[in-house]
Amino acid sequence: MTTTSFQKQDLPVLDTLDPELLERVVDRRGAIGNITAATAALAVASVPLGLGVLAKRAFAQGGPLPQGIRDVLNFALTLEYLEAEFYQLGLAAPGLIPVGTGPVFVQISNHEDAHVALLQAALGANAVAKPTFDFTAGGALADVFSNYATFLALAQGFEDTGVRAYKGQAGALITDNAILTTALQIHSVEARHASKVRRLRAQKGWITGSAVDVLALVGVYVGEETVTQAAVNTTGFAGVNAATEAFDEPLTMAQVLAIAGPFIV
C-alpha cells in the first residue's frame, strides 16, 4: 500500500459533519492513550451515525419520520424502557447483584438508559410513554429482585429477545440509512450484553439451537435452530451446533410483544 496524500478533502463525508460533534468525539478519543488504528477509525466513522444524525433528523431536518419508521422506533423504545427499568431496579435492590459483577450491570444499565434517551430524541413528540412494568410477571417471578439467579435468567431473556427484536426490524428501516445504521449500532450492543449475561449464567455467549432456559419467558429462542441461510445448508461446514450458533435469528414484532407481554401491566 502506498500512501502519499492525507488531505481532508479525500474524505468528503467529514464535510457533512457537525464540526462541534466531530471535535467532541475526536477530542474525547484523543484523550485515551495507546489508541489503536481501529479505534481511531471508529472515532471518525461513528460520528455521522450517532445521536447527532438522529437528533437532527428528529428536530431540524427532513421533516417528520414516516409512520412505518415511527412504529419501529416506538417498538424499540418500549423494549428499551423495559430493559432500562429492569436494570435500574436490579441495581437498586440491596444485596441482589454481587459486588464482583457490579460493573457489568452498571454498564448495561447505562447503555439501556442511553438507548431510551436516543430513541426519545429521535421520536420527539411522537415517542410513546413508558408503560408500567411488572417484572414478577403477575407474581410468577416474585423473587426477581431478591434472587440473583432469577434476575440473571430474566436479563438473559430480555437481552436475547432484544437482539432478535432489532434484527427483525432491520428490513423495515432499509429506506433510511441513518436510522438503519443507528438501529444496527444498538443491536450489536444488545448482543454484547446478551453474551456477557449468558456467560454469567455459565452458558455459552452464543445461542445453540432453540433450547429454552429462561423461566417464564416463552418463545425467546423459537427459530434459533435454523441452519439454512439464503438457501445454503450450513451444517456441513463445522457441525450442527456451530451452524445454529453462527447465525442469530430474528423475531417478528408480534413474537417480541408476546414475550414481553407478561411484564407490561
Partner 1 sequence: MMNESSHAAPRDHVAAGVASPGRRKFLQIAGITMAFAAFGCDDDDDDDGPTGPNDGEVDLGSGDTGILNYAYALEQLEAAFYTQVIVTPYTGITAEETTILTDIRDHEIVHREFLRAALGANAITALEVDFSDVDFTSRASVLGTAKTFEDLGVGAYNGAGQLLADANLLLIAGKIVSVEARHASAIRDLLNPNSADFAGDDVVEAATGLDAALPPAAVLLAAGPFITTEINAGSLPTT
Closer to partner 1 by CB, 88 or 138: give it.
Answer: 88
Element holding 187 (H helix, E strand): helix 177-200
The Cα-based distances of 53 to 49, 56, 66, 109, 127 in angstroms read 6, 5, 16, 23, 17
Using CB under 8 A as the binding rule, the residues of this chain from 223 to 252 that contact partner 1 are 229-230, 232, 234, 237-239, 241-243, 245-250
State the nearest-atom distance from the C-beta of 42 to partner 1, in Å: 4
Using CB under 8 A, which of the segments 46-54, 56-64, 125-133, 257-265 binds partner 1?
46-54
* 67 is an interface residue for partner 1 by CB under 8 A: no
CA–CA distance, 265 with 262 (Å, rounded to integer): 7
Distance from C-alpha of 5 to C-alpha of 155, rounded to nearest angstrom: 49
Q: Which of residues 127-166 bind partner 1 (CB under 8 A)?
A: 163, 166
Work out whether 3 is an interface residue with partner 1 (CB under 8 A). yes
Binder of partner 1 out of 146, 188, 213, 218 (CB under 8 A): 188
User: Do residues 244 and 226 lie in contact, with contact meaning Cβ atoms separated by under 8 Å?
Assistant: yes
> Least distance to partner 1 from the beta carbon of 176, Å?
9
Nearest distance, CB of residue 201 and partner 1, angstroms: 13
3-state secondary structure 22-69: HHHHHHHHHCCCCCCHHHHHHHHHCHHHCHHHHHHHHHCCCCCCCHHH
Q: Is 17 or 258 the residue whose CB approaches partner 1 more closely?
A: 17
Cα(259)–Cα(222) distance, rounded to whole angstroms? 11
Residue 44 or 258: the one with the smaller Cβ distance to partner 1 is 44
Q: Which of 15, 16, 20, 32 binds partner 1 (CB under 8 A)?
A: 32
218 binds partner 1 (CB under 8 A): no
User: Residue 21 interacts with partner 1 (CB under 8 A)?
Assistant: no
45 touches partner 1 (CB under 8 A):
yes
Which three-class secondary structure state does DSSP give residue 185?
helix
Binding piece for partner 1, criterion CB under 8 A, among 86-94, 123-131, 170-178, 214-222 = 170-178
Residue 68 in contact with partner 1, rule: CB under 8 A: no
176 φ, ψ (degrees, to nearest 5): -125, 100
Does 56 interact with partner 1 (rule: CB under 8 A)? Answer: no
Q: Pick the closer one to partner 1 by CB: 145 or 166.
A: 166
Residues in contact with 85: Cβ distance below 8 Å, sequence separation at least 6, in sequence order: 130, 133, 135
In the numeric block, which cell numbers belong to residue 30? 484523543
- Joined together, the cell numbers standing for residue 94 give 440491596
